[in-house]
Amino acid sequence: MLAIDPVVLFFVLGVAAGLARAELRLPAAIYDFVSAILLLSIGLKGGMQLATQPVGNLLGDVALVLLLGVLLPLVAFPVLRFAGRLPRADAASLAAHYGSVSVGTFAVAISYATRQGIPYEEYMPLFVVLLEVPAILVGILLARGVSRTTRWGPLAHELFLGKSIVLLLGGLAIGWAAGPAGLEPIAPLFFDLFKGVLALFLLEMGLIASAQLAGALRHGLFLVAFGLVAPLAFSVVGIGFGVLMGLSPGGVMLLAVLAASASYIAAPAAMRTAVPEANPAISLTASLAITFPFNILVGIPLYHRLTELLLNG
């Protein structure tokens, strides 16, 4: 078996085409379509399993996951502010991006787990939803304190009504209500096509990431280093939390991936609204052009190993 997951090769193709400035554009409408299907698929799959789960068991996990989301940006911020000498706003914004999560990375990790035959708690998509928002809130507070001028209305809107939350939560709810039997008629689209759609999504992400790559070095070596080291460090924190929660090895690995991943959709949108003085290019370049490729090309198998090592060690 090829070491690398074939879907990841589509990402490589996208990056290569982008760097070569090939005449390959996938219009934004296709991005919207493909990402909506992915988000719904992930939500539906998670929701389907949630139904079989006693809610009581999950409450502790939910609390821990929220704590993880608060902790990660608090760890990242001082490093960025003092070691990286970034302006307060930029440090806070980066902290928010890295504390939050990337659903695309999670999708690749799921594909990896399936491919390797690694079982995991199927309700993990719930954690994706839970991890998306807290870090962004912490980032905003880090940037501006509990300022009176922050307009929380539009912000809450941005945070809780963004595309990924709505489609993931919507999918979870529908999956939960319908159950496996109820979802069967829509399985051909949402489950059978999942990996193919993920391949198209990664092709598109490759094109998009390549456009950011040019800027990566312009922002200095520190940013590049941070984009590579932060996910590693965070994955270990994720493993720790996974163990605390008593997850299966597969679940621990996926939580490590979530901790290691950086947001490139929800966080940019929210920080643009709440902390406009932060330079959006810095955070996006780091999360999209450095951390995302690192995670899907190298990180996921690495966190898998790390999980095995730490669980058995």
For residue 262, state whether it binds its own copies (rule: CB under 8 A). Answer: no
Q: Of 26-55, which residues contact other proteins (CB under 8 A)?
A: 26-28, 31
For residue 154, state whether it binds other proteins (rule: CB under 8 A). Answer: yes
Among 78, 119, 180, 182, binds its own copies (CB under 8 A): 182
Among 78, 83, 152, 192, binds its own copies (CB under 8 A): 192
Residue 90, classed as helix, strand or coil, is helix
What is the C-alpha to C-alpha distance for residues 151 and 158, in angstroms, rounded to an integer?
A: 11
What is the C-alpha to C-alpha distance for residues 266 and 234, in angstroms, rounded to an integer?
A: 19
Please state the closest distance from residue 225 (CB atom) to its own copies, in A.
31
Q: How is residue 59 written in tokens?
A: 């409450």
Nearer to other proteins, 14 or 175 (CB): 14
Q: Of 16-45, which residues contact its own copies (CB under 8 A)?
A: 16-17, 20-30, 32-33, 36-37
Nearest 10 degrees: CA dihedral of 76, 82, 86, 87? 100
Rounded alpha-carbon distances, angstroms, from residue 51 to 58, 174, 178, 247, 310 = 12, 10, 9, 18, 31
Stretch that binds other proteins, among 24-32, 90-98, 187-195, 293-301 (CB under 8 A): 24-32
Rounded alpha-carbon distances, angstroms, from residue 85 to 42, 92, 230 = 38, 12, 16
- Over the window 233 to 272, marking each residue x when it contacts Na ion by CB under 5 A and - when it does not, the resulting string is ----------------------------x-----------
Residue 59, classed as helix, strand or coil, is helix
For residue 273, state whether it binds other proteins (rule: CB under 8 A). Answer: yes
Stretch that binds its own copies, among 14-22, 77-85, 137-145, 227-235 (CB under 8 A): 14-22
Nearer to Na ion, 93 or 261 (CB): 261
For residue 272, state whether it binds other proteins (rule: CB under 8 A). Answer: yes
Among 168, 118, 74, smallest CA distance to 303 is for 118
Among 104, 168, 80, 85, smallest CA distance to 130 is for 168
The values of phi and psi at residue 87, to 5°, are -55, 150
Q: Which residues bind its own copies (CB under 8 A)?
A: 1-2, 6-7, 9-10, 13, 16-17, 20-30, 32-33, 36-37, 111, 114-115, 157-158, 161-163, 166-167, 170, 173-174, 177-179, 181-183, 185-190, 192-193, 195-197, 199-200, 269
